[in-house]
Amino acid sequence: MTAIKHALQRDIFTPNDERLLSIVNVCKAGKKKKNCFLCATVTTERPVQVKMVKVKKSDKGDFYKRQIAWALRDLAVVDAKDAIKENPEFDLHFEKIYKWVASSTAEKNAFISCIWKLNQRYLRKKIDFVNVSSQLLEESVPSGENQSVTGGDEEVVDVYQELNAREEQDIEIMMEGCECAISNAEAFAERLSRELQVLDGANIQSIMASEKQVNILMKLLDEALKEVDQIELKLSSYEEMLQSVKEQMDQISESNHLIHLSNTNNVKLLSEIEFLVNHMDLAKGHIKALQEGDLASSRGIEACTNAADALLQCMNVALRPGHDMLLAVRQQQQRFSDLREQFARRLASHLNNVFVQQGHDQSSTLAQHSVELALPNHHPFHRDLLRYAKLMEWLKSTDYGKYEGLTKNYMDYLSRLYEREIKDFFEVAKIKMTGTTKESKKFATLPRKESAVKQETESLHGSSGKLTGSTSSLNKLSVQSSGNRRSQSSSLLDMGNMSASDLDVADRTKFDKIFEQVLSELEPLCLAEQDFISKFFKLQQHQSMPGTMTEAEDLDGGTLSRQHNAGVPPPVSSEKDMIRQMMIKIFRCIEPELNNLIALGDKIDSFNSLYMLVKMSHHVWTAQNVDPASFLSTTLGNVLVTVKRNFDKCISNQIRQMEEVKISKKSKVGILPFVAEFEEFAGLAESIFKNAERRGDLDKAYTKLIRGVFVNVEKVANESQKTPRDVVMMENFHHIFATLSRLKISCLEAEKKEAKQKYTDHLQSYVIYSLGQPLEKLNHFFEGVEARVAQGIREEEVSYQLAFNKQELRKVIKEYPGKEVKKGLDNLYKKVDKHLCEEENLLQVVWHSMQDEFIRQYKHFEGLIARCYPGSGVTMEFTIQDILDYCSSIAQSH
């Protein structure tokens, strides 16, 4: 072990200016045996640093390397495991615990003893030694007191001590002075011994020579001791004198402390009193305003508002701990409460009187609005009441029960006032719509009686086949000829020679203006009232955060909401709902009156539903852009549903009336009434719905109507006995096509093409069917020729058939000379003229088509003669030019 110790000192610690004091061979506990050395070292330079170093033998050779080092001051505990039994295990507690097993118990004890000595000398006993034998520690203490700690020789720590550089230099000088120091060690030692004896003798002689001086020194020391005793006596007397001064100074210090404490308490008390006086003192002027202030004048209202705000600030002051236990504070709070109650009662009573007076004042102005279609203006009333808005806010925050009572009273008074105004307003609107007098207005509003309104509309529309909700006679009328319809409608004209359609347009325009005026009057009225309610009652119209709407109770009784009790203000999330509920209570008659007005307009003329749908949709869209959840938006939305339902009903009634149309068996059909009415409906709708928001509803109605028109035109054509089916289809689909082309309805492009196709197909069918009659025998002859050819007979061999030889051909041709052909065409023209109606003016179109078809047949017959009877010289007795002349002269003659 000594050799290893010297090798480690030389190779590892000397280059780092460190001195190795102790070493122990260890391995880690509980793991595979890997030996290493724990070394206790100190530095050779000041200040001394004590370290514990782990040294391990390198895997690549026999040299040792420094692996890890700890400062000994970081060592907290040394645990030897057992103080009685020999145990090679021990623990060192640094930042974590290291468990070691020494190669022998002796090495472990020597190492722990070295650590204990270093702790005593350098660390002032900071390390705890646990389970270490007391004998081991006692053996480490030398006989001299504190010698291990204060002694200058570090050989106490270890028997080996390396020479420093100066000692080595002195030894070399001494050895150079003695030549035999190396060759003869005994002679060198003997010489050194002699010199040491000489030095000892010189020292003894020196000591003996200085005895006299020592005696003098001792005498001086005795005198010094006497002086010290005298000084101690004086200091003792001074200390006794200062003791009384100290007691007096202590008393003065204590007195000063009490004075300072008293001043501090006085300052704090003054601060608390100033706080209470500044925050809980209400001026006499404010008290007088709350008790006697004039709530009718603007100056009095302003004074009461300022006083109420000051009272609220005094009541809401944040008292510090302990203030509420003061009698004066409690009395002041009670006084404030009494003032609040007194002023709240006075304010509520005054506002109730204002509400009642407003009802009387507004009632007196209703007479002047009874003739005009205008609602009374409530702006002056709102302007006067808004002066109390801040007081209402104060009442809401201080006494919610009275605030809620005022809210109910306001709704009660204003609902009755608005109900009278709105009902009178709607009565005027109904009178202007129907044109009746005020005495007969009751008949105009009866829901299910034959009133003057129905009589007027029936006399206005007559039996012209109008497809409206008020003309039920269409189901009973048969379709008359065009001439009869014109004569019937002309008999219903007024003396001013105005047509029925002009009267319809005038009535509908008048209704549209009245309905728009009604909505234009209601909208600002509702918005102004809602804005006033929000400002006066301090309710937020737009909530910043989404809240759950509370379930409202019956508007005629109870509270506005089940969410809050009386006296407790509702949360912000329900204030918007409170505004809506108040508006519903105040304007509860608007929706029924609007529905009655809509029912009347629909009863006058179901086409009015088109005007109402467009106007109502526009106003709903405008209201929803402002506030989708407002009363106005909700009410108009509900009414819009009714208008849309009436519009759908109007469309359904027109389709039903189409299906119930009956045609006359004695007169030609012509343009069917529902086809003409579809044209009127489409023209009216396009003018009404131009740039409208609900264009999609009209497009759906167009699709339903046009399908109904198509189906029922075909149905009537199949049932027609007087007029050929093709003529009915041709004329009506031509009219439909012309209507759709003129109006350019984008959603009916497919139907327009279908109508044109049906018109073309039935025109061709009618022409072919009609032309088969003028040259009937010739047609039958050539049909037989074509049949033989179809059976496989060659065209040039057809003339050899007995029934189709040249003689038979000439016989048939002779039956149709030019005179007979012209006569047949003239009869055909007359028959076509009887079939077609004058409104559509298709006679020349049909006649021209027949001319073209006749020429085509003529060319076809000539081609068959040329192919089947070549060289026979057989030709028709009239030419194409003759046909053109015949058709032209016939058309001109008629």
Helix (H) or strand (E) holding 514: helix 500-536
Q: Quickly list H helices, 99-210.
A: 105-118, 134-139, 147-150, 165-177, 180-183, 185-209
**3 and 101 both lie in a single domain:** yes
pLDDT at 209: 72
Per-residue pLDDT tens digits for 217-244: 888 988 999 999 999 898 988 888 888 8
Which of 263, 510, 785 is CA-nearest to residue 502? 510
> What is the tally of structural domains in the chain?
5
Q: 500-536 and 400-434 are packed helices; what angle lies between their axes, rounded to 10 degrees?
A: 170
866/385 Cα distance (integer angstroms): 106
pLDDT, average across residues 869-883: 78
pLDDT at 39 over 90: yes
Whether residue 559 lies inside any domain: the answer is no
Whether residue 482 lies inside any domain: the answer is no
pLDDT, average across residues 822-848: 75
Selected residue with higher pLDDT from 141 and 829: 829
Selected residue with higher pLDDT from 879 and 81: 81
385/29 Cα distance (integer angstroms): 94
Helix (H) or strand (E) holding 529: helix 500-536
pLDDT at 255 over 80: yes
**302 and 398 both lie in a single domain:** yes
SS3 144: coil
339/345 Cα distance (integer angstroms): 10
pLDDT at 482 over 50: no
**204 and 233 both lie in a single domain:** yes
- Among residues 115, 136, 157, the one where a domain terminates is 136
**13 and 51 both lie in a single domain:** yes
> What's the N-to-C CA distance of the chain in angstroms?
152
Whether residue 477 lies inside any domain: the answer is no
Which of 484, 486, 479 is CA-nearest to residue 728? 479
pLDDT at 290 over 50: yes
**706 and 612 both lie in a single domain:** no
Cis ω before 628 (30° cut-off from 0): no
| Parallel, antiparallel or unpaired: strands 36-43 and 18-28 | antiparallel
pLDDT, average across residues 838-862: 78
Per-residue pLDDT tens digits for 622-656: 888 877 878 888 888 898 898 889 888 888 888 88
DSSP category for residue 569: P
Please tell me whether the overall predicted TM-score, pTM, comes out greater than 0.75 for this model.
no
pLDDT, average across residues 657-668: 77
CA angle at residue 318 from 313 to 322, to 5 degrees? 135
**812 and 746 both lie in a single domain:** no
- Least confident stretch, 60-64, 331-335, 345-349, 485-489: 485-489
CB proximity list for 348: less than 8 A, separation 6 or greater: 395, 402, 405, 406
pLDDT at 456 over 60: no
**298 and 374 both lie in a single domain:** yes
pLDDT, average across residues 848-852: 80
Q: What range does the domain containing 592 cover?
A: 289-435+506-538+572-639
Name the token pair of 62.
Answer: 């026999």
pLDDT at 735 over 60: yes
Selected residue with higher pLDDT from 440 and 246: 246
Percent of the chain residues topping a pLDDT of 70? 82
Tell me the residue length of the chain.
894
- Among residues 118, 136, 154, the one where a domain terminates is 136
Whether residue 719 lies inside any domain: the answer is yes
Whether residue 168 lies inside any domain: the answer is no
pLDDT at 361: 61
**Average pLDDT of the chain, as a whole number:** 77
Do the beta carbons of residue 403 and residue 321 sit within 8 Å?
A: no
Whether residue 521 lies inside any domain: the answer is yes
pLDDT, average across residues 198-218: 80
**789 and 767 both lie in a single domain:** no
CB proximity list for 569: less than 8 A, separation 6 or greater: 396, 397, 400
pLDDT at 40: 94
Name the token pair of 885.
Answer: 């002349």
Per-residue pLDDT tens digits for 435-454: 754 444 443 333 333 333 33
pLDDT at 114: 92
pLDDT, average across residues 798-824: 79
Which of 830, 822, 864 is CA-nearest to residue 846? 830
pLDDT at 442: 40
pLDDT, average across residues 148-176: 59
278/47 Cα distance (integer angstroms): 68
Per-residue pLDDT tens digits for 298-319: 898 899 989 888 888 888 888 8
Per-residue pLDDT tens digits for 700-733: 888 888 888 888 888 888 887 777 888 888 888 8
CA 289 to chain centroid, in Å, comes to: 48
273/633 Cα distance (integer angstroms): 57
431/371 Cα distance (integer angstroms): 10
- Least confident stretch, 197-211, 239-253, 509-523: 197-211
pLDDT, average across residues 239-267: 88
Residue 585: Cβ-neighbour burial (10 angstroms; 0-12, 13-18, 19+) = buried
pLDDT at 231: 92
Whether residue 460 lies inside any domain: the answer is no
Q: Specify the CATH number for the domain of residue 34.
A: 2.30.29.90
Residue 676: what residue type?
A
- Among residues 714, 740, 771, the one where a domain terminates is 771
SS (H, E, C) 849-880: HHHHHHHHHHHHHHHHHHHHCCCCCCCCCCCH
Which of 731, 675, 676, 710 is CA-nearest to residue 846? 731
Whether residue 45 lies inside any domain: the answer is yes
Name the token pair of 253.
Answer: 């210090």
For residue 774, name the pLDDT band (cuts at 50, 70, 90): low
SS3 39: strand
**212 and 356 both lie in a single domain:** no
Name the token pair of 705.
Answer: 């109507």
Per-residue pLDDT tens digits for 86-99: 888 999 998 888 88
pLDDT, average across residues 126-155: 60
For residue 42, name the pLDDT band (cuts at 50, 70, 90): very high
**244 and 381 both lie in a single domain:** no
Name the token pair of 4.
Answer: 């290893």
**715 and 864 both lie in a single domain:** no
pLDDT, average across residues 145-170: 53
Rg, the chain, Cα only: 64
**295 and 403 both lie in a single domain:** yes
